[in-house]
Chain A
Amino acid sequence: MTQTAPVQDWATDFDVMDPRYLTDPFSIWDQLRATCPIAHTNRRKSSWMPLRYDDVTTIAHDVAHFSSVKVAVIPGDEDEEPDAGFQGPNLEYGLPPISVDPPVHTWTRRLLLPWFSHTRVDSYIPLTRELCGSLLEGLAAAGHADAAADYAQQIPVRVIARILGVPTAMSDTFTGWVRDVLEFADDPERRQKGAEGLLLYFIEQLEFRRREPGDDLLSELLHTEVDGKPVDDGIVLGMAALVLIAGVDTTWSAIGSSLWHLATHPEDRRRLVAEPDLMPTAVEELLRAYSPVTMAREVVEDITYAGCPMKAGDKVLMNFPAANRDPEAFEDPDLVQLDRAHNRHVAFGSGIHRCAGSNLARMELQVALEEWLARIPEFSLAEGEAISWAGGQVRGPRVLPVVF
C-alpha cells in the first residue's frame, strides 16, 4: 500500500483511500463543496476531483479535453510505461468501450449495448430472482447474515457469468480477481495477480469459444464482423474483461449500500414493504444517495477549468457520488426520499460513457431488494459487529453483519 498518511488538508492533498473518506465521504464533500469544489492532490499522481454536479457533468461531456483512455482512480498498469521485457498478457486496447475515446468507443459500444438492452435484461429477471431466492433460503433461518458477503456479493457475478457464457461455479474466483484489480489497486502485486488471472482465463475461454461457439456474449464478439472484418482479438479480450470487472463490484456495492440504508432506516424499510409500487423511484433514489462508482478522465492538453490549472496527463476523478449529493442539484440531498420526483442522478455517469450495463444493474438491485424484503422484512445492524467499506473506484460495504 502506498501513501496512506492521514489527510490534513482535503482541498490540496486529498486521498480517496483515507480511512475517514472510506467511512464517511459525505461530510468531506460538503466541506469541500463550500470551500474548494474542485480539490487537488499530488498523492500517487496529480489528480483533480470535482464535487459539484455541474462540473462533473460538464467535464463528462467534454470528451475532447478529458479523455477516457485512463479511467482508474488509483493509478495502475494503464498509467505506467509498458515494460518491454514483460511476457504476460496485456491489453493493448485497454477495456473498450469504457477506456477508449471515439471512434473506437462508438463501434465497440454498439457491440455491447444490445446485450444490456431493457428487453434483454428482462429475460435475465427469472434467473436473478431464482438466485436471490436460493441465497435467502440458506440465510433466512439463521437469524443473522453478512448482507454484503453472503448476499449482495453473490448476485451480480453469477448473472454476468451467465451472460458471458462462463461457469457460475467460478464466481468466487471471478470476485477475487475483480476485487484485486479494483479494491486493492494500491497494492501492485495484488493488482497484477488479479489482472493476470482474469486475462489468462479469458484468453483460454476465447480460444474455446472460437472452436465451440455458444449463445453468449464472448461467442458473439468472436464471430461478429465490423466493416467486413472480424473484431481484433485484443479488443474482444478487453471487452470481455470489462464486462466482468464493471459488472461485479459495482452492482454488488449498490445492493450492499441499499441494504445498509434499509437496516438503519426502519421507516424507509417499512414503507417499501407496505408500498411496493414505490420500488422504481426508490431504486433510483438509493442509486443517487449511495452511488458506488467514480471514474477517472485524463486531461488531454493543458487547460484551465474553473480556475484550476490542469496539466496534460493529470487525472480528473469524476466524483459522480458527490455530484449526486450536491444541494444545488438536489433538494435535501442527504435525505433519502423513496418517492423523490426530481432526480437527474448520474450514478451511471453522464454523456457518451453512460454505464452500458445500467439496465442490468438497476434490475439486479430491484430484484435483490424485493426478494430480500419478501423474506426478511425486518432486520437491523448486528450490534457491536464492525462494518467495513471499500472505496476509491467503487464504494460499498464489504462486511455488513445484520440480524433479523
Chain B
Amino acid sequence: MKVRVDPDKCQGHARCYGLAPEIFDVDDYGQASVIVDEVPVELEEKARLAVANCPEYAIEIIE
C-alpha cells in the first residue's frame, strides 16, 4: 500500500500525524507529507484511519 497527501487540499489539521506518526509528518507550516515509500502491512489499518479522519479529504490510498 502507498498513501499520498494532496498538498493543495491539506490545511494542516495534523490529524494524520496524530493518528499515524509512523506514516505521516507535518512541517512547521502545517503541510503534511508521507514519510514512507510503502506502508508496512502492520500499519495499513493506521493509514486507513488517517484517510477516514482527514477533514479536507486530502489523503488517498494507492493500492
| Residues on A facing B (Cβ under 8 Å) | 57, 110, 113-114, 117-120, 280-281, 284, 341-346, 348, 350-352, 354, 358-359, 362
* Set B11, B28, B57: member contacting A354, Cβ < 8 A: B11
B43 to chain A, nearest CB (A): 15
Additional A-B contacts beyond A343-B52, A344-B57, A350-B11 (13; CB < 8 A): A57-B55, A110-B29, A117-B26, A118-B14, A118-B26, A342-B52, A344-B55, A351-B56, A354-B12, A354-B13, A358-B12, A358-B13, A359-B14
Q: Which 9 residue pairs are nearest across A and B when measured between Cβ atoms?
A: A114-B28, A354-B11, A342-B52, A117-B28, A344-B55, A113-B29, A343-B53, A346-B55, A113-B30
Give Cα A166–Cα B49 distance, bound, in whole angstroms: 39
Cβ of B63 < 8 Å from any Cβ of A?
no
Identity of the chain A residue whose Cβ is nearest the Cβ of B52 in the assembled complex: A342
Interchain Cβ contacts under 8 Å between A and B, 24 examples: A57-B55, A113-B12, A113-B28, A113-B30, A114-B28, A117-B26, A117-B27, A118-B18, A118-B26, A119-B28, A280-B19, A281-B19, A284-B15, A284-B53, A341-B49, A342-B52, A343-B53, A344-B54, A345-B55, A352-B11, A354-B12, A354-B30, A358-B13, A358-B14
In the bound complex, residues from chain A placing their C-beta under 8 Å from that of B12 are 113, 354, 358
In the bound complex, residues from chain A placing their C-beta under 8 Å from that of B15 are 284
Pair A114/B29 contact, Cβ less than 8 Å: yes
In the bound complex, residues from chain A placing their C-beta under 8 Å from that of B26 are 117-118
Give Cα A284–Cα B56 distance, bound, in whole angstroms: 15
In the bound complex, residues from chain B placing their C-beta under 8 Å from that of A280 are 18-19
Give Cα A280–Cα B12 distance, bound, in whole angstroms: 17
B56 to chain A, nearest CB (A): 7
In the bound complex, residues from chain B placing their C-beta under 8 Å from that of A362 are 18
A266 to chain B, nearest CB (A): 26
In the bound complex, residues from chain B placing their C-beta under 8 Å from that of A348 are 13
Taking A113-B12, A113-B28, A350-B11 as contacts, is the C-beta distance between A118 and B17 under 8 angstroms? yes
Identity of the chain A residue whose Cβ is nearest the Cβ of B19 in the assembled complex: A280
B interface: dominant SS: loop
In the bound complex, residues from chain B placing their C-beta under 8 Å from that of A342 are 52-53
Give Cα A106–Cα B26 distance, bound, in whole angstroms: 18
A interface: dominant SS: helix
Give Cα A227–Cα B56 distance, bound, in whole angstroms: 31
In the bound complex, residues from chain A placing their C-beta under 8 Å from that of B57 are 344
In the bound complex, residues from chain B placing their C-beta under 8 Å from that of A113 are 12, 28-30
Give Cα A281–Cα B19 distance, bound, in whole angstroms: 8
In the bound complex, residues from chain A placing their C-beta under 8 Å from that of B30 are 113, 117, 354
Give Cα A134–Cα B43 distance, bound, in whole angstroms: 38
Identity of the chain A residue whose Cβ is nearest the Cβ of B30 in the assembled complex: A113
Identity of the chain A residue whose Cβ is nearest the Cβ of B49 in the assembled complex: A341
Give Cα A120–Cα B29 distance, bound, in whole angstroms: 12
In the bound complex, residues from chain B placing their C-beta under 8 Å from that of A352 are 11
Give Cα A359–Cα B28 distance, bound, in whole angstroms: 11
Give Cα A237–Cα B17 distance, bound, in whole angstroms: 32
Pair A351/B53 contact, Cβ less than 8 Å: no
B32 to chain A, nearest CB (A): 10
A260 to chain B, nearest CB (A): 23
A-contact 0/1 string along B5-40, CB 8 Å cutoff = 000000111110111000000111110000000000
Pair A344/B11 contact, Cβ less than 8 Å: no
In the bound complex, residues from chain B placing their C-beta under 8 Å from that of A110 are 29
In the bound complex, residues from chain B placing their C-beta under 8 Å from that of A343 are 52-53
A295 to chain B, nearest CB (A): 15
Give Cα A344–Cα B15 distance, bound, in whole angstroms: 9
Give Cα A169–Cα B14 distance, bound, in whole angstroms: 32
A62 to chain B, nearest CB (A): 14
B17 to chain A, nearest CB (A): 6
Identity of the chain A residue whose Cβ is nearest the Cβ of B11 in the assembled complex: A354
